[in-house]
Chain A
Amino acid sequence: MISKRFVAKRLLLLGPVLFGVATVVFGILHLSPGDPAIAIAGDRASQEFIDQVRRDLGLDDPLWQQYLRFLRDTATLEFGQSYQVRRGTDVSAILADRLPITIELAILGQIAGLLFGLPLGILSAVKKDTLTDHFSRIGALTGISIPIYWSGPLLILLFAQILGVLPTSGRIGSSHFIDSRTGFILVDTLLAGDMAAFQSAVRHLFMPVVVLGVYSMAFISRMMRSSMLEVVRQDYMRTARAKGQGAKTTIMKHGLRNAFIPVITIIGIQFGSMLGGTVLTETVFEINGIGTLLVSAINQSDYPVVQATVLVFAFMYTLVNLFVDITYSILDPRIEQ
């Protein structure tokens, strides 16, 4: 069993990590060129107007004062209001709107990666040095090597423009308006009982999920293969076989659990990378998750949105890693020590 102390210790570590991220993002934003007051006021504004905007936003205060204010607000989860991306709207409301979109995409991508990556890795290990293994390894290498900003447009070209069977962008067809209950479009369309909308969402999400899934699948299958190869050589596997257990049962019962430990790490790290990957995927497929939100906010010097979005990314990444550690210690209780 996992101890509460272990979880509490890891949760406490979240604080310094987020503090570090907050400080770095604040520093980068304030040291990079571009004045939000000018971006907000636009090119029609007089200098007097721009100065007023700067005063209203507290951007004319000394940097250390702005930093302390930012830390205080962050600590109380007061991210302020968006300067530009969604003017005058609370950043937390914007994030609440956009976050499920990214999470849904990342989860679907991860599921796709696991569904194909795990069997492929096991098969590759079991059939080591056969044609199946070679194909699987080439496939994995290709998956890792193709960047999303290339595979995305390639799929669009093939499925949307040449074959014309899938839509190029967005999450749902223009004629479908669905109440946002969970923010997950597949769930919401099902809750609404609108199968046409659900099918539309599936068609829209197919390519983004494939792009994310292929990338993840490649990593998972490679790690699963090498981990499995390592495990099948272990004494306990030989003992199990010697006691008359079938090959399939030995692998499923004894091999998989032990081979899974390093794979779990990869899945965790992959999920983190996938959150980063959604920035590219969302941009390519024009999906309004927090990836595209971050890009727009950076382009428009929308400090509150950039700061909050990066913190959310960091928080999720850290949280996923915590879950990985917890799962780890469940699979192998010695790790907690």
Chain B
Amino acid sequence: MNDNDSTVSRRSFLKSAGSATVVATAAGSVSGCLGGGGGGGSTLRYGRSSHSDTLDPQNTTSGEVAKVTNQIYDGLIDFQPGEATITESLATDWSMDGEEVTLQLREDAQFDDGTDFTADDFVATYRRFVDDEYEYHFEEASAYGPFTLGNWIDSVSADGDYTLNVTLTQPYAPFLRNLAMFAAVVLPQDGIEGDLDFNSDANGTGPFQLEELDDSNGRILLTPNDNYWGDGPNVDELLFIERGQNSTRTQALVEGELEIIDNLAPTNIESVEEEDGVAIESGQGINIGYMSFNMSRVEAFRDARVRQAISHAIDTESIVNEVYSGIAEQADQPCPPALFGHNDDLSPYAYDPEEAQSLLDETEYSDGFSFELTTFQNARGYNPAPLPTAETIRTNLEEIGIEVTIDERQFSDYLTYTSEGRHDASLAGWYTDNADPDNFYYVLLHPQVDSPDGQDWVDWGTEGFNTSNRSAWANQEYMDLVEEAQRTADEDERASIYAEAAQIAHDEAPWVYIDYADEIRGVRNNVSNYTVSAIGGPHLHLVDVE
């Protein structure tokens, strides 16, 4: 691959910005090769559906950005490849006692410009993200600022170079997993307080460093960070390439122009499976696709029997197997099976129009009613075919006398419409942020305001209402359990609390649970040690390319 002037000047700039120690370390890295390696001229080309709109992990909620920034930056904590469990990264040990969290940090980590990583880097990172009194606070910080750290942290302080003390606003068990999220990766204090433009440049402690950002051609080239503290990378170059259309991305994989691709539609999976030299690799996803009932807007949905009737009337098995070509499994509760908060004793609502009709007959809606079902247009991982899903629902509900009108919207319009509570019902879905059950139970079904006496829903206009709860469901018993689980540190204990919450959410049916989609990748056969991860990563520094 060709070097070029801009690349050289960027590297030169970063190197010259360092101190004498940097020079010494850089020299050391040349002779001793501290971890960063490379694999003898190999390039790993990763094809994806869209290019990064920034390189700043604090300026986005986009998973596409995270795929790249996770190669460049480390969090204090990471996710195990292919697992929903956490493991050490820049922090090697931690303890959580009520509201007090203490983290011991790695002493051998350096940024790619050679400066040492210390606790002050995390303090500056945190302050840039959420502290508007900090001189270098980032005004355009994403919603992950409060969501991940700001809402839960009371204070952060460095105790020497390698110990961090964090005081939380309340006992909050998911906090450690929040630290493993891509938005919480550690940025260099020098860069934050200096003039590093995180939007288009980078300086991290991760396995790779930025070599070239090529917006014109939708490419990002990374090379090994010689200062990396961990294993790998095993390739000399990692190239992210945008191939927007599923068919061209698949074609490029088949023809050997790419080594790994993601976001495959069912038809592309079939074409990959038919070809030699490429294979489909999949992993259990941590997501859910569902249909929400807006109880704040539609009176009929306030009756649990109506919701249960609709859940029985919709053939989710057929949606998963026929419409989604079997790349997902039927859902039965808010939390997917990959997480410890999933209740294994539950099963999906059986498709049973007769049972549905008899439940409906018990209510004042025995003659049916009508509602509008809002959906987004383009496929998303948890719903690879939104319109056919909506049409199946419409056909199914016709059988019990419920008339459905489909309201199809472009995604940003769909988000606006449903977050303002203007939908009757909506197809929706969620990818986990932190692989914690709380990220489903609390974020999606807790109203975050008090439940009014005698009713299990809240008005959409209630001040402070959590609009991610697209059903406006507010079951007090469920809310108490979810809050208790937040405060409980022991994972087994939390699991049993969530099992109860899952049972309530299943029985009360604030959603029609549709599917948990698998994570699917197309991979060439010359790639080894690649693990499909539903959270964190992709851990591309461990990958070999022959």
The answer on A and B forming one complex is yes
**Whose C-beta in chain B lies nearest to the C-beta of A87?**
B54
Are B217 and A168 interface neighbours, CB within 8 A?
Answer: no
Are B61 and A44 interface neighbours, CB within 8 A?
Answer: yes
Query: Which residue of B7, B244, B245, B258 contacts A177 across the interface (Cβ within 8 Å)?
Result: B7
Render B221-239 as a binary contact track against A, CB cut-off 8 A, 1 for contact.
1000000000000000001
Closest chain-B Cβ to A38's Cβ sits at a distance in Å of: 5
Give the secondary structure class of A's interface.
loop
Stretch at the interface among A45-53, A129-137, A243-251, A257-265: A45-53
Q: How many chain A residues have a CB neighbour from B under 8 Å? A: 52
Are A44 and B433 interface neighbours, CB within 8 A?
Answer: yes
Given that A34-B416, A97-B215 are contacting pairs, would A176 and B2 also be in contact in the complex, using a CB cutoff of 8 Å?
yes
**Complex contacts, A43 vs chain B, CB 8 Å:** 61, 415, 419, 468
Are A34 and B410 interface neighbours, CB within 8 A?
Answer: yes
**8 Å CB interface, B69-85 against A:** none
**8 Å CB interface, A54-105 against B:** 56, 84-89, 94, 97-98, 101
Closest chain-B Cβ to A105's Cβ sits at a distance in Å of: 13
**Complex contacts, B61 vs chain A, CB 8 Å:** 42-44
Given that A84-B53, A164-B255 are contacting pairs, would A178 and B412 also be in contact in the complex, using a CB cutoff of 8 Å?
no
Closest chain-A Cβ to B7's Cβ sits at a distance in Å of: 7
Q: What is the number of contacts between chain A and chain B, taking CB atoms within 8 Å?
A: 135
Q: Does A41 contact B (CB under 8 A)?
A: yes
Closest chain-B Cβ to A280's Cβ sits at a distance in Å of: 13
Are A44 and B5 interface neighbours, CB within 8 A?
Answer: no
**Complex contacts, A177 vs chain B, CB 8 Å:** 1-2, 4, 7, 212, 214, 219, 221
Q: How many chain B residues have a CB neighbour from A under 8 Å? A: 60
Given that A34-B412, A42-B61, A87-B59 are contacting pairs, would A47 and B217 also be in contact in the complex, using a CB cutoff of 8 Å?
no
Are A33 and B409 interface neighbours, CB within 8 A?
Answer: yes
Query: Which residue of A41, A42, A174 contacts B241 across the interface (Cβ within 8 Å)?
Result: A174
Are A286 and B248 interface neighbours, CB within 8 A?
Answer: yes
Q: Does B539 contact A (CB under 8 A)?
A: no
Are B243 and A286 interface neighbours, CB within 8 A?
Answer: yes
Are A288 and B243 interface neighbours, CB within 8 A?
Answer: no
**Whose C-beta in chain A lies nearest to the C-beta of B221?**
A177
Are B143 and A178 interface neighbours, CB within 8 A?
Answer: no
Complex Cα–Cα for A325 and B419 (A): 51
Are B215 and A86 interface neighbours, CB within 8 A?
Answer: yes
Q: Does A332 contact B (CB under 8 A)?
A: no
Q: Does B307 contact A (CB under 8 A)?
A: no
Additional A-B contact list (20), CB under 8 Å, known A84-B53, A101-B216, A192-B4:
A33-B413, A35-B412, A38-B415, A39-B412, A41-B143, A42-B62, A44-B143, A45-B143, A47-B467, A87-B54, A87-B59, A94-B215, A161-B251, A169-B243, A170-B218, A170-B243, A171-B217, A288-B51, A299-B410, A301-B412
Could you list 16 A-B pairs, sorted by A, with CB under 8 Å? A34-B413, A34-B416, A46-B146, A47-B465, A50-B419, A87-B56, A87-B199, A98-B216, A101-B216, A168-B251, A170-B218, A170-B243, A178-B2, A288-B218, A299-B410, A299-B411
